[in-house]
């Protein structure tokens, strides 16, 4: 069930919504004021560990595979180190740095405008498709491309078509090739299919993806294997394994963020005039957490605190754990659902939705919980009454700025 009026769904009064907003503002302010050296030390430590893992992985593969005796264990260890490096770099470092969580440090490298991550998608496109589209229009049908990545049917409101019968297979492909799915994310496949995409912008993006993708392929599948000499095949296989490891992990974590039962979809038409408090409320209802220890949270980029991340996407990720205690208490106080559970259960629910929605609605039932109290039914606006989709970036003097960058 997608909901069209968040406040009505939660049965909160205007004053309660605003009060909740003020309490969340206070949490935000407290973190902003206490942000400092120990947080900076945290992200620097993560980056160091991530680099050690990369060096350890590359060296183990280069040297360890040369002798027949150590070849197999070196390949396994090397692939594992590399996989962990990619996971840590993509999830806890790249994703969070690109949100601007560490910009306040004024570090020349750890900054949202400079960080380029170890995956096929160019950082610039990620910052558009993820930071803007996904975080601004979270779980809003027709806006947020993270709902099924343009491939899967993830909400009952999305029209069924026989092509979705293959959904379990597409899902497995998306999971194993996740970095390439993400790479194509900002292209917005659905708009290309409908012929709505500006061909010039599409070409520009494709060139960018081509360049970045080529460099990734060269690094993992040509240069490092070549450096291993006669053992190139082992290194190539280990690198492919590391990428697969990162792909599967990132996919599972991301699908746990918005698809377990309880994370709601919206058909919100009032996005334009949403106040800060209403925006907070939509973010809380559209996201789902998972439980785990500190290591699990670090390796998932602290996205187990998806609710807190969506409330405060630009606060340092190492503070989400302490924020979550307060947010959870607020949810109890205001009787708002706080969706969480063990990782396997959250992913299990997302997978069940993927499988169920491969079939027409009539053949399956919804797993979404009932709203806190019954909400009035409300007439949904027709498509023609809804605002048109958000505009492409860069309509104004794109050429000039490219020249500026190049000069």
Partner 1 sequence: MTSTPRNRTGGRSALAAARFRGDPGHALTQASRVHERHWVTQCALARICGGCAMSLGRPIAFLGTPDEVARNAFHLPPMHTACAEELRRTPGADPTWQLVTTAGFEFVRPATEDLDREPRFEPNSLL
Question: By CB under 8 A, which span of 45-53, 126-134, 204-212, 333-341 interacts with partner 1?
Answer: 126-134
Q: Counting contacts by CB under 8 A, is residue 132 touching partner 1?
A: yes
What DSSP state is assigned to residue 101? Answer: T
Q: Least separation, in Å, of the C-beta of 266 and partner 1?
A: 17
Give CA–CA dist 184/206, Å, rounded.
9
Q: Counting contacts by CB under 8 A, is residue 153 touching partner 1?
A: no
Q: Counting contacts by CB under 8 A, is residue 405 touching partner 1?
A: yes
- From residue 255, alpha-carbon distances to 69, 161, 261 in Å are 40, 22, 12
> Contact with partner 1 (CB under 8 A): which of 5, 124, 157, 198?
124
Nearer to partner 1, 102 or 170 (CB): 102
Binding pattern for the stretch 308-337 against partner 1, x by CB under 8 A and - elsewhere: -----xx-----------------------
> Contact with partner 1 (CB under 8 A): which of 37, 38, 68, 108?
108
Calculated CA dihedral for residues 201, 206, 211, 217, nearest 10 degrees: 160
Q: How many residues does the chain have?
A: 407
| CB atoms inside a 10 Å sphere around CB 61 | 29
Q: Least separation, in Å, of the C-beta of 15 and partner 1?
A: 10
Nearer to partner 1, 374 or 399 (CB): 399
Q: Could you tell me the two tokens for 198?
A: 């500006």
- From residue 225, alpha-carbon distances to 61, 129, 161, 234 in Å are 9, 33, 43, 8
Write the DSSP assignment of 279-292 as a string of letters. Answer: HHHHHHHH----B-
Q: Counting contacts by CB under 8 A, is residue 396 touching partner 1?
A: yes
Q: Counting contacts by CB under 8 A, is residue 32 touching partner 1?
A: yes
| CB atoms inside a 10 Å sphere around CB 52 | 12
H or E element, residue 395 = none
Q: Counting contacts by CB under 8 A, is residue 388 touching partner 1?
A: yes
> Contact with partner 1 (CB under 8 A): which of 4, 5, 23, 135?
135
Nearer to partner 1, 144 or 220 (CB): 144
SS3 316: coil
Give CA–CA dist 287/319, Å, rounded.
18
Binding pattern for the stretch 219-258 against partner 1, x by CB under 8 A and - elsewhere: ----------------------------------------
- Identify whether the C-beta of residue 383 lies closer than 8 Å to the C-beta of residue 159: no
Interface contacts to partner 1, rule CB under 8 A: 14, 18, 21-22, 25, 32, 98, 100, 103-106, 108, 111-114, 123-124, 127-128, 131-132, 135-136, 272, 274-277, 279, 313-314, 387-388, 390-391, 393-398, 400-402, 404-405
């Amino acid at each position: 069930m997608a909901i069209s009026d968040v406040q009505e769904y939660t049965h909160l009064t205007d004053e309660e919504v605003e009060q909740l907003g003020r309490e969340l503002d206070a949490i935000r302010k407290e973190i902003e004021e206490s942000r400092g050296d120990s947080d900076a030390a945290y992200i620097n430590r993560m980056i160091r560990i991530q680099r050690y893992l990369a060096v350890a992985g590359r060296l183990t593969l280069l040297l360890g595979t040369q002798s027949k005796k150590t070849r197999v264990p070196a390949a396994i260890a090397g692939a594992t180190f590399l996989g962990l490096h990619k996971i840590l770099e993509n999830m806890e470092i790249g994703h969070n740095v690109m949100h601007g969580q560490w910009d306040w440090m004024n570090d020349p490298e750890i900054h949202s405008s400079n960080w380029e991550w170890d995956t096929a998608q160019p950082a610039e496109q990620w910052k558009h498709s993820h930071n803007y589209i996904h975080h601004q229009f979270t779980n809003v049908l027709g806006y947020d491309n993270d709902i099924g990545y343009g491939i899967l049917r993830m909400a009952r409101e999305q029209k069924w078509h026989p092509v979705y019968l293959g959904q379990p297979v597409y899902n497995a492909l998306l999971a194993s090739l996740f970095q390439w799915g993400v790479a194509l994310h900002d292209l917005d496949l659905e708009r290309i299919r409908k012929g709505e995409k500006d061909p010039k912008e599409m070409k520009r993006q494709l060139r960018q993806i081509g360049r970045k993708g080529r460099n990734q392929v060269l690094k993992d599948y040509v240069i490092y294997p070549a450096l291993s000499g006669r053992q190139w095949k082992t290194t190539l296989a280990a690198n492919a394994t590391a990428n697969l490891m990162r792909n599967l992990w990132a996919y599972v974590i991301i699908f746990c963020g918005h698809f377990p039962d309880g994370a709601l979809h919206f058909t919100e038409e009032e996005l334009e005039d949403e106040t800060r408090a209403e925006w907070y409320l939509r973010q809380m209802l559209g996201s789902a957490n998972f439980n785990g220890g500190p290591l699990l949270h670090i390796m998932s980029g602290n996205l187990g605190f998806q609710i807190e991340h969506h409330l405060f996407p630009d606060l340092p990720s190492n503070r989400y754990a302490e924020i979550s205690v307060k947010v959870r208490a607020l949810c109890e106080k205001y009787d708002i659902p706080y969706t969480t559970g063990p990782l396997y259960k959250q992913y299990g629910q997302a997978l069940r939705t993927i499988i169920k929605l491969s079939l027409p609605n009539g053949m399956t039932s919804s797993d979404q919980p009932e709203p806190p109290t019954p909400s009035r039914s409300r007439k949904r606006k027709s498509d023609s009454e809804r605002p048109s989709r958000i505009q492409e970036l860069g309509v104004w003097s794109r050429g000039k700025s490219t020249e500026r960058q190049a000069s």
